[in-house]
Structure 1
Amino acid sequence: MIHHIELNVSDLEMSRKFYDTLFSLLGYSLFQEWPEGFSYKQGTSYIVFVQTPADFLEAGYHRKSAGLNHIAFHASSPLEVDAITEKMRQSGVSILYQDRHPYAGGNDTYAVFMEDPDRLKIEIAVSESGG
């Protein structure tokens, strides 16, 4: 089980807006907040977001580089995936792979893919094969 994950973000305010919307839909609760960051918790695991220091912003992030590619969260049903998709669209978030949505992850996975403000890919999925 994961204890916590910490992500550096380029714009704390933009990330906070995105994750406030997304995590409220996924059942996460605000856990901590301080001037340079915030975290959300579900159960005993939490995700921390910290403002990247200015000295390190230039390098940027790209999911195809070495490091984290994407984070996938469980959904309870296809209806939950659909509700999250619609709410995130209403919030101005672009949905990835629209031509293959909601099966962009394969025929056995009903999912939505989007990017956070730093272009980290986020997936919300429910396996239709029970896996």
Structure 2
Amino acid sequence: MSTPQGFHHVEINVHDLTRTKSFYGWLMAELGFDLFQEWDKGISYKCGSAYLVFTQTEAKYREFSFHRKHTGLNHLAFWAKSRAHVEHLRVQLNENKVPFLYDNDYPFAGGEGHYALFFEDPDRIKIEIVAPR
């Protein structure tokens, strides 16, 4: 029996769980994640042995919003299946009026040969979708 390696899970507090569910529901499915758990204060999506959890921030802690430039999480990066998959997601996000980051440098904003799409979720967490080489 081997011991799993890598991330077990990542948990992110969100300002509005309903809005987060709406945003991530289709995106996680597109990226190969399945709905794993759902309860009144949270939801999680699983891919392989790792999962991503979103929980409702308690009211007393909602005064300050997230910003990726502060100490802590900068962004989440996910694998796409292909460059065509990145393009498909770009169309879907655009139809949902999700603003892109670094759009003038798309698809190589992450550097030469790094084919990726960058955008923000409803809490302004930066998301990167990377195509395999």
Q: CA deviation at 1:58?
A: 0.5
RMSD of aligned alpha carbons: 0.9
Structure 1: 5+ residue runs without aligned partners? none
TM-score by length of 2: 0.93
Pair 1:32-2:48 in alignment: no
**Other-structure match for 1:66:** 71
Question: What is the rounded CA distance, in whole Å, between the counterparts of 1:8 and 1:19 in structure 2?
Answer: 14
Question: What is the rounded CA distance, in whole Å, between the counterparts of 1:28 and 1:127 in structure 2?
Answer: 17
% same residue? 47
Pair 1:44-2:52 in alignment: no
Question: What is the rounded CA distance, in whole Å, between the counterparts of 1:22 and 1:90 in structure 2?
Answer: 13
**Other-structure match for 2:111:** 106
Q: CA deviation at 1:127?
A: 4.5
Question: What is the rounded CA distance, in whole Å, between the counterparts of 2:45 and 2:11 in structure 1?
Answer: 11
Question: Which segments of structure 1 move beyond 3 Å, counting only runs of 4 or more?
Answer: none
Deviations 1:39-71 (A, max 9, x none): 000111000000000100012111000000001
TM-score by length of 1: 0.94
Pair 1:122-2:95 in alignment: no
Q: Which amino acid in the other structure matches residue 107 of structure 1? A: E
Structure 2: 5+ residue runs without aligned partners? 1-5
